[in-house]
Amino acid sequence: MSTKSARPGSRLWPLKSALLNLGLGGLGVLPLHFGRSFLHDHPLAALGVTSPAPNDVDDGAMVAVVLVVVLTLPMLGAFVLANVLAADTAGFPQRHWGLAVLMFLLPTMAATLWPSAAAELFPPW
């Protein structure tokens, strides 16, 4: 990771970081939803914090683990790699990570809070 500070005149780093991570977050809505569903239905339900989805109990955790490993972990790896490369090449300051995480999670949070709006944007096949 680079320790150099932002280049002089690169005051557009918040916009560049926001656009990069909103794009990645838009691609990551489905993988992040699977990760959130896995946490909600299996580990947190086992601890008694949440209750599992009734139609997910029969499948067990293996299907969910495979989905998380195949979809969610590579998406998180792409997020970290893209931001490290962007920080090195564009000279983002170290504080860009807070904005990056917020912008990356924003599409998934919006789709979770307003599922009808998400269904209009991404109609079922």
**Reported confidence tier of residue 34, pLDDT bands at 50, 70, 90:** confident
pLDDT of amino acid 45: 87
Q: Give the chain as a 3 state SS string.
A: CCCCCCCCCCCCHHHHHHHHHHHHHHHCHHHHHHHHHHHHHCHHHHCCCCCCCCCCCCCCHHHHHHHHHHHHHHHHHHHHHHHHHHHHHHCCCCCHHHHHHHHHHHHHHHHHHCHHHHHHHCCCC
Rounded to two decimals, the pTM is 0.75
Q: What is the mean pLDDT of residues 2-23?
A: 73
Mean pLDDT is lowest, of 1-10, 13-22, 36-45, 102-111, for 1-10
